[in-house]
Chain A
Amino acid sequence: MMSTDLRSAMGEFKVHRVRFFDYMPSGIRALAFNQDTERMAVARMDGSVEVFHCSDRFFQEKIIPGREQFGIEGLSWVGERLFSAGLNGGITEYDLTNQKVKYTIDAYGGPIWTIAGNQQGTHLAVGCEDGTVKLFEVNEDNIQFERNLDRQKSRIVSLSWHPSGSKIAAGMMDMIQVFNVETGHSMHRMLADRGVGTSRSKECVVWSVVYLSDGTIITGDSVGMVKLWDDQTGTLIKSHNVTKCDVLALSVSQNEDSLVAGTSEGIVVQFQFVSMVLGKDDKEWVRTRTFRNHTHDIRAVAEITTAVVSGGMDAQLVVRPLLDKIEERSAASALRKIHFPHRRLVACARKSGLMLFQYPGHLELWRLGESEGKGIPGSSLFVKRNPEKLLHLKVKGEDHIRCSAVSPCGEWIVYSTASTLRLYRLHCDNNNISITKISKLPKVLSSANQLCFSSDSSHLFSASAQSSVHLVSISQSGCKFVGTLKPKSGSHQAIHLLAASEDGKWVASANSDHEVHIYNLQTRKAHCTVPIYSSAVTAMGIHPATNCLFMMHADQQMFEYSIEQKQYTDWSRTVQRKGLHRLWVERDTPCLNVMFNPQNPSHVILHDMYMLCIIDQSLPLPDDKTQFYNQLTLKSLTEEQRKSHSHAFKVCKTFKDILCVELMPDQSLVVVERPLEDIATQLPAPIKQKKFAT
C-alpha cells in the first residue's frame, strides 16, 4: 500500500472503472427556440424540460425534472415565458427562475397534441383530442381560456399561427384546416392524400404544420410528404416525397428562407427558398441537404440562426451547424451531440467508498469493490471483492428527483424533488444495511435546487429560492436549522452548484446568471462575489490547502479565485494572459467536476464526457505550438527528457462516455462510464431499415 502511494504521487492511479450505472436518457419530444434570448427549450418523454443556452456552447442551464404520467407533447415560448401541453390535457407554465412548474391548468379538451403561441405574445392556441382549437389569453401571471375555434371531427395534431396572428393552420387526420382567428371559422379545408397500396386504408396524419408570412402553408405527414399549400386558394403548390415513413417535425428559419423536416428514419432534410435562375426573383422551395445524425425517429427539429437542432427517440440533442451561415470556423461551428445532462448524477462518499446514483425515480447506493496486488500501468488488477449494491431507494410521490447527495462519511443520504426533500440515515452493520428517514425536518428544507454536505458531514447545505442557501446541522439527535446564507444583491436565479471547503469555513454557490457567491460559515454572512464571467459555471471546487475556488466555465475557460484575498490568483491571471490551448478550448462537452489531490497540492483534476485531465499548476502552460495531447509522446521518452516536454495539461483519454470522476482518499479514481453503445442497445428498435445480414 505504501509503495502505491509513493508511485501515485508521480501520476499513477488505480482506477475503479464503473459501468453499472444504467442511466438512460429520455427521448426528446419537443423543441422550442427563443430567438431573443437564444435559449432552446427541450421537452423529454419523461416530462422533464431543459433549457440550453445556444450561444454559450449549448450549456444546459436549467433542468426542470419531470414526473410520472406527465407526457409533454408541445412546447412554446411566449416572450420569455415557457409553456407546455401534454396528453394529460393540461397546459403548464414554468417558473424558469426557480426551475419548477409554476401552474398547470386543464384545457378541458381531452389530451392536447400541440401548443403554439402567436408572435405577438398575446395568445396561446392548443389543439385537442376532441377536435377543438382552444385559444388562451396570456395575462401577466397566468393564462385564461378565451374561446374555441370551430370544432372539427378529428383530433388536432399540429398548429401554426400565421405571423400576423390573424390565421391559424391546423394539421389533422387526413386534412389541414385554416382558421380565421377573428371569427373562429374555417377558411379552407385542404385534403392530405393517403398513401398508396396497403397504406391507403390508413389515415394520413398531418404531424406538423408551418404557416409562412407569404401565406404558404407547409405540412409534414405520415405518408412521408412535405407539402406546400397556398392559403389564398387552398390548393397544393408542390409536394416533396421525403421518406417512406413519417415526416414528424418541421421548423422554419426566422427569415423563412430555410425549412428543416425530421423523419422517423432519423434523417433531417433541409429545404431552401432559392431562386431557380441566378439573380431572378421567382423563388422556390428546393430540397437541398440531408443530415443523418440520428438512429431513431426525430420528434422535433428547430432551425436556429446558424444550426439545425434535432432530437428524437435516441435521446441525443444534435446541433448540426449550417456551414454557409458561419463566418469563421470555431468551436461553435462543429457538430455537437449532447448525450448526457450537464449536471452530476453520481455522488461519492469519499471517506467510505460509496457511490450514489441518481435515476429519475430512484436512488441506488453502491459500495466500490476492492483489488488485490499491484499491477503495472495499463494492466487490470484482480478484483478481490465485487462492488455491491447496498440500497435501492424509491422516490415517494410522482415527482422525479431534482438533486441528491451522500455525505462524505456515507452516513447520510438526501434527495429533493420539486415538492419534497427527504433525508435518510444509513446504518451499516456488517452486512446488514438499514436506513431511517429523518422526520421533522426544518420547514426550510421543503425542497432544494441543489444539495451538498460539509466535508465533516456535520452540516447540510440546501440551495433554495432566491439564490439563498439554507444551513442545517445534522447529528444523531436530529436535524436543526442553523441559518440562511443570502447574497447581498444580484439575481434570484436558482443555484445549480454548491462547493464547501475542506476546513468548513467557506461555501460557494453558483447560479444560472453566472453569479458565484462565497459565504463565510463562521459569520454566516456573504463574504464576496466572484466577478461575473460571461459563460456559465459548469463545475467548481475549493482547494483544501489554499482555499482557492477553482471554476470551470462552459466556454472551457478556467479561473482560480483566492477566497481569502478576494482576487484571482497569479496562476489564474497567467492562464488568462497566455490563453488556453486551442484544442482545450475546442472541446465540446463541459467539465463537470473539479477535484484536488491532497498529496499533490499543485494538481487539479477535471473531467468531461471524453477525458480526464490533471492540471499541474507547477508546470508551464502549453501554447498553441506545443503538442497538447502529449501523453503518448511522454510515455516514449526517458524520465529526463520528459521534464522538458511536459506541460500543465495531462489529458487521459482512456475512458469514454464519462458520467463522473471522483478522487478517493486512497488516491484511487472512480470513473463512472456509460457507454453510448449500451444506451443504444436499450433503446426501442428503430424503424426497420434493410441492412446486410439482418
Chain B
Amino acid sequence: MGVTFSVLLMEDSGVVMPVSADVLRVLSATDSEPVVLFCCGAVRFLDSLLASPQQPIEDVLTEDEIIRWSTIIKAEHQLVILFSTEQRGEHCLYVQRFNPNTLMKHRFETEPGFSAPINFSATCRGSNIHLLYLYLNGSVYESVLPFRSSSTGAEVVQALSRSLCLSLPLGEEKLMSGAAVVLDEAHVAVVGFPHPSAGACKDYLCIWNTHFQTLQACKEMAGRIYSQLWCYSGKLYVPHGKMLSVIPFDCQKSSLAAAMGKQKQTSQSAECSFVTSWTSQSCTDVTQTTEIKSRMSTRNNIKSALTVDQLIQHIKTSAVEDVQAEVGEFIRRTPQADLQLAAGRVALELVSRSQTDANFYPQCAFLLLLETRYLCYSVCPELLSLAMVKKDFHLCQIAFQIFSDIPEAVTCACLKTILSTPDLEMETVNLDTDSVIFMKELTRAQSRSDEEGGQLNGFCPPALESDVSDTPSNKLQRDPLALDTSCPVGLHKGALLNEVLQTAYSDRSLLPHLKDLTVPQVIVFLQYLRFLYFKYSHDAHKQIRALRTPSISQIIDWVCLLLDAHFTVLAVAPEAKRLVFDLHKFVRSQVKLYAELGKIEGSLQVLKNSKQSEDFGMYAIHVIELF
C-alpha cells in the first residue's frame, strides 16, 4: 500500500496522463469496471477517469485522514467499496455505493487499549455485507451493512453496530499483528494468534467455528507467519518463512445434530454442553489437536478457597497424592458454574504434566474431573490418548461413556489398542461393574441355552434346511445359529468394545480410519460383532438388566462398516472365510424371517381393518339423530 500513483499510463499509446489527485489503489472485481480510489477518498470509474483525466477530484477525507484498508465487493451487479481510515487515533469506515452514488461514514467503536482494528475481511451474504474485523486483544467483531443503502446521506456519523463473534485466546507474548479471514458463515481462519493449547509458539493457522466457538482445525506453519492471509476460491494462501502455502479447504456444514452423530439414545448430552471437533478435510495432518474455548473462559475469575490459578500452579510442582487431594477439594468447593470453566483448564494442566513427567499420573483426579461431566473430548483432547498410552482402560471406559465428541480417528485408535491388548492383561483391569456384569450375563445366557438343548422361540428358518447341501459336508447338523457362539474375546475386552460400539460417529469419517485395523484385529472384532448379533437375535440380552448396552442397530451398523472397510481383505483372507460364511447364512435367514413377518403383518392388518362394518345384510331400518 502506501505507494501512490499520480499518473496513468495508457496501454496502447504509451502516453502518460497526469491526473489531478493522488491515486491510492485501483480496485477491480470480476466482470466489472475497475474503480480508482484516490488518497483523498474520492472514487472514480477507471473508464470515466481515462476519458477526462484532468477532471477535478473532490476531497472526501480531511487532511490528516489516511486510508488504512480498502476493498471492493460485488454482488447482485452492484459494486460497493469499503475503506477504513485513521485520523488521530480515531478509526472510521466509509462505504461507497454506486447508482446512486452514496458515501456513508461509520465510526468504529474503540476498544480500550486497542484502538485500531488490525485486520478486515468483508464478504457478501444475501443482501448484506458482513465485515469481520480483528483487534489485537483477540476480539473478532462482525458488522452487517446492507448492500443497498436505505438512508441517503445521513450526516451524523454513527458508530458501527457490531457483535462479538469470537474471542481468540491470547498467549503470554505480546502480539503485534494478526489476520483473520472469513471462510463461510460459520468459519474464520486466523493467523498470528497462538494456538490455545500449543503454548508460546504462535505460528499456527487456526480455523475457528464462530457458531460453536470451537477450534475446528489448525496447522502449524514452518517459519514466521507474516500476519497475512488470503482466501480465494476455496483455497487459503498463507505466506510463512520463505514460503507461500496454498491450502485448499472445505467447510462442512456444522450442526449439533451432525456433531452428535448417531448417539441419540444417550441421555448425558444435556449436561455436556460442548461440541465435538470437526476435522476439516483440508488439514488432514492435524486432525486431533482441536480445542474449545468459550469466549468467557478467557476471562474467567474463580472465587473459591483455592483459585484455579493457584491449583494450576500446584499441579505443576506438587506430588501426585497432593494434586489428587487438591483437585478433589477444588471440585467439592467450587460452585457449579465456575467449575464448568475450570475443569477443562485443570484437566489440561494435569495432562500436560503427565505427558512430561512419566511418574506423574493422577488417575483419581482424572476420574473425579470426568465425574463432574464438565469435561468433553474437545476440552482436553490429550486425555484419552494419555489414558491409552498408560493403558488405563478404566479411564478410557469412563471417557467413552461421558464424551460425546470423540473424533472418529481417536475412536479407531482406541479400538486398535483395545483389540491388540492381550485378554490376560485386560482381565486384571478394573472396569465399570455394570458393563462387566452385562458381559457375564451375555456369555452365561449362551451356555444356559445350550444346556437346555433347545431354542427359546423354536424358530428354524427354512432357508437353512435347503442350504445344508452347500455347507461343508460332515458338519454336524446342529442348529446353525448355535454354531460357534462362544465369546471370542474376554469379558473385559468385550465390555470395552461395547463402549466403542456406543460412541457417536459419522460413517464417512470413520471409514478411512477403520481401514487402519490389521487383518487379525478385523477378524477378532467381526467375530465379536457376530457373537453379539447372534446373541441379540436370540433375545438373550432382553433378560439382562444393564444401564448401557449396545443396540442391535449399532451392532449391525458396525458390521456393515467393517465389511465395507475391509471387503477385499475379508474376501481374500482364508481365516475369514468361515466367519463371513456364517454371518452371511445367518443374515440370510434373518432376512427370510423378516419377510415372513412382513406377510404376517399384512394379514393381521387386513384382519384389523375388516373387523368393522357391522353386517346387517341387505336391508335394515335404523334410527339416526342429527344434532
Contacts and interface: CB of A to CB of B under 8 A. Distances in A.
Interface of A: 11-20, 369, 371, 374-381, 383, 386-387, 614, 631, 634-635, 642, 646, 650, 652, 654, 668, 675, 677, 690-693
A603 to B, nearest CB: 10
Given A675-B613, A691-B599, A692-B600, A12 B624 contact: yes
B626 A17 contact: no
Contacts of B617: 19
Interface in B242-272: none
A650 B627 CA distance: 7
B1 interface: no
Given A17-B620, A374-B623, A380-B622, 11 more contacts: A12-B625, A14-B621, A15-B623, A15-B624, A20-B619, A635-B627, A646-B627, A650-B626, A652-B626, A691-B599, A692-B602
Interface in B584-622: 599-600, 602-603, 610, 613, 616-622
A217 B619 CA distance: 54
Contact of B625 (A17, A377, A693): A377
A369 to B, nearest CB: 6
B624 A634 contact: no
B357 to A, nearest CB: 55
Contacts of A11: 625-627
A650 B626 CA distance: 7
Interface string B257-294: 00000000000000000000000000000000000000
A692 B622 contact: no
Contact of B623 (A20, A381, A652, A675): A381
Contacts of A375: 623
A614 B625 CA distance: 11
A20 B618 contact: yes
Given A631-B626, A675-B613, A16 B621 contact: yes
Task: Report, nearest first, the 7 A-B pairs whose CB atoms are least far apart.
Answer: A377-B625, A634-B627, A692-B603, A11-B626, A20-B618, A371-B621, A692-B599
Contacts of A17: 616, 619-622
A691 B625 contact: no
A16 B619 CA distance: 7
B621 A377 contact: no
Contacts of B603: 691-693
A691 B602 contact: yes
Nearest to B617: A19
Contact of B627 (A371, A380, A631, A654): A631
A344 to B, nearest CB: 20
A614 B624 CA distance: 13
A677 B622 CA distance: 21
B116 to A, nearest CB: 45
A642 B623 contact: no
Nearest to A366: B619
A15 B600 CA distance: 39
Interface of B: 599-600, 602-603, 610, 613, 616-627
B600 A377 contact: no
Contact of A13 (B610, B623, B627): B623
A691 B603 CA distance: 8
A369 B624 contact: no
Given A691-B599, A691-B602, A18 B623 contact: no
A379 B627 contact: no
Nearest to B610: A677
A485 to B, nearest CB: 37
B600 A380 contact: no
Interface centre among B599, B600, B623 (most CB of A within 10 A): B623
A369 B621 contact: yes
B4 to A, nearest CB: 46
A379 B622 contact: yes
23 contacts: A12-B626, A13-B623, A15-B622, A15-B623, A17-B621, A17-B622, A19-B617, A378-B623, A379-B623, A380-B616, A381-B623, A383-B620, A383-B621, A386-B619, A387-B619, A631-B627, A642-B627, A650-B627, A654-B622, A654-B624, A690-B599, A692-B600, A693-B603
A652 to B, nearest CB: 6
A263 to B, nearest CB: 19
A648 B418 CA distance: 74
A550 B617 CA distance: 35
B626 A381 contact: no
Contacts of B619: 16-20, 369, 383, 386-387
A19 B599 contact: no
A379 B603 CA distance: 32
Contacts of B600: 692
B599 to A, nearest CB: 4
Nearest to B601: A692
B622 to A, nearest CB: 5
Nearest to B627: A634
A135 to B, nearest CB: 49
B626 A376 contact: no
A487 to B, nearest CB: 38
Contact of A19 (B610, B618, B622, B626): B618
A3 to B, nearest CB: 13
Contact of B621 (A381, A614, A631): A381
Contacts of A652: 624, 626
A646 B626 CA distance: 11
A16 B621 CA distance: 5
A387 B623 CA distance: 17
A376 B625 CA distance: 9
A646 B627 CA distance: 8
A162 B462 CA distance: 52
Contacts of B622: 14-15, 17, 378-381, 654
A573 B264 CA distance: 56
Contacts of B623: 12-15, 374-381
A35 to B, nearest CB: 38
Contacts of A376: 623
A634 B602 CA distance: 37
A383 B623 CA distance: 12
Contacts of A371: 621
Contacts of A631: 626-627
Contacts of A16: 619, 621
Nearest to A651: B626
Contacts of A668: 621
Contacts of A677: 610, 613
A614 B616 contact: no
Nearest to A668: B621
Contacts of A386: 619
B112 to A, nearest CB: 52
Contacts of A13: 623-626
Nearest to A654: B624
Nearest to A10: B625
A374 to B, nearest CB: 8
A216 B343 CA distance: 69
Contacts of B627: 11, 631, 634-635, 642, 646, 650
Contact of A380 (B599, B618, B620, B626): B620
Nearest to A21: B618
Contacts of A635: 625, 627
A627 to B, nearest CB: 13
A677 B613 CA distance: 10
Contacts of A691: 599, 602-603
Contacts of A369: 619, 621
Nearest to A370: B621
Nearest to A22: B618
A395 to B, nearest CB: 24
B286 to A, nearest CB: 31
A60 B603 CA distance: 35
Contacts of A377: 623-625
Contacts of B624: 12-13, 15, 377-378, 652, 654
A22 to B, nearest CB: 10
A381 B613 CA distance: 18
B561 to A, nearest CB: 26
A682 to B, nearest CB: 14
A642 B603 CA distance: 43
